[in-house]
């Protein structure tokens, strides 16, 4: 699976992308400032409301970040290991565990944004927020990333499936990682070359006609929420 836009008629789909970006940034700032059990409980409730409004299953959203989850789980476990004496310290594991859970919440919110926002609207939001050439460059970059990453993830999944079909599971973990990494890099370079040719053939426009964006009444609570979260983070 890969995180991609899915058309829908939910409230989150109909929000202005600038309001959604403001909410996402404010949630990230609040999570970084208040990485405490109480703060993460509040952010968990907020993330649950966002998922419900977008009609997105949390398990389905997390499944799209399956490659990242082992690192988030393994970090606290490794940090909690003590050498002298040999054992496991819960006190040492708690801070990285809270940080890992904070990352999970941010991934869920990011998945909701990508699933409910067309690429062209994201580009329009960035270019209208950041004026001039920098905004155009950021807008083009965002469009490229949203289109390119799902293809790379699909290629890596195919490499893993092909390796497993050829009894690759009997190889050592190091050898399997090397084969997938080398194959993934080769596919990435091939994709990049094809992408460059496709862009040149289609005469890339740095400032195309983008969709009109207009704030509506339904965006007001989201902007208020973003402002409130930033205020809480600063205070």
Instruction: Read off the pLDDT of residues 134-170 as tens digits, 9 standing for 90 and up.
Output: 766 676 666 666 666 677 777 777 877 787 777 767 7
For the chain, the C-alpha Rg in angstroms (whole number) is 21
What pLDDT score does 102 carry?
A: 93
Cβ neighbors of 133 (< 8 A, separation 6 or more) are none
| Residues of the chain with confidence (pLDDT) below 50 | 1
Q: Are 65 and 111 in contact (CB under 8 A)?
A: yes
Please tell me the distance from the alpha carbon of residue 168 to that of residue 165, in angstroms, as a whole number. 7
What pLDDT score does 104 carry?
A: 93
pTM above 0.85, yes or no: no
What pLDDT score does 174 carry?
A: 77
Q: Are 37 and 98 in contact (CB under 8 A)?
A: yes
Phi–psi pair at 118, nearest 5 degrees: -60, 150
Please tell me the distance from the alpha carbon of residue 219 to that of residue 224, in angstroms, as a whole number. 9
What pLDDT score does 158 carry?
A: 80
Neighbouring CB atoms inside 10 A of 61's CB total: 23
What pLDDT score does 1 carry?
A: 44
Q: Are 121 and 213 in contact (CB under 8 A)?
A: yes
What pLDDT score does 114 carry?
A: 87
Token digits of residue 217: 């009444």
For every residue of 180-225, DSSP letters joined together read: HHHHHHHHHHHHHHHHHHHHHHTT--SS--PPP----GGGHHHHHH
Return the percent helix, strand and coil in the chain, to nearest 5.
75, 0, 25
- For 17, the 3-state DSSP assignment is helix
What angle in degrees, to the nearest 10, is found between the helix axes of 17-33 and 220-234?
A: 20
Give CA separation, 38 vs 31, 35, 82, 94, 163, in Å. Answer: 11, 8, 27, 14, 44
Please tell me the distance from the alpha carbon of residue 71 to that of residue 106, in angstroms, as a whole number. 15
């Amino acid at each position: 699976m890969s995180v991609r836009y899915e058309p829908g008629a939910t409230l989150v789909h109909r929000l202005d992308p600038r309001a959604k970006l403001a909410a996402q940034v404010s949630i990230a700032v609040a999570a970084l400032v208040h990485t405490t059990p109480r703060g993460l409980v509040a952010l968990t409730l907020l993330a649950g409301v966002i998922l419900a409004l977008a009609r997105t299953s949390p398990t389905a959203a997390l499944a799209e970040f399956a490659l990242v989850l082992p690192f988030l789980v393994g970090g606290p476990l490794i940090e909690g290991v003590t050498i002298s004496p040999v054992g496991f310290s819960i006190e040492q594991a708690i801070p990285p565990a809270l940080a890992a859970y904070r990352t999970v919440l941010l991934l869920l919110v990011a998945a909701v944004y990508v699933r409910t926002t067309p690429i062209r609207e994201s580009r329009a939001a960035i270019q209208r927020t950041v004026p001039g050439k920098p905004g155009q460059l950021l807008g083009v970059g965002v469009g490229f990333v949203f289109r390119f990453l799902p293809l790379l993830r699909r290629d890596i999944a195919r490499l893993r499936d092909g390796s497993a079909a050829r009894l690759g599971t009997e190889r050592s973990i190091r050898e399997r990682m090397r084969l997938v990494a080398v194959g993934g890099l080769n596919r990435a370079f091939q994709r990049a070359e094809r992408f460059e040719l496709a862009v040149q053939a289609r005469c890339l426009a740095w400032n195309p006609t983008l969709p009109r964006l207009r704030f509506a009444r339904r965006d007001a609570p989201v902007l208020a929420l973003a402002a409130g979260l930033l205020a809480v983070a600063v205070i």
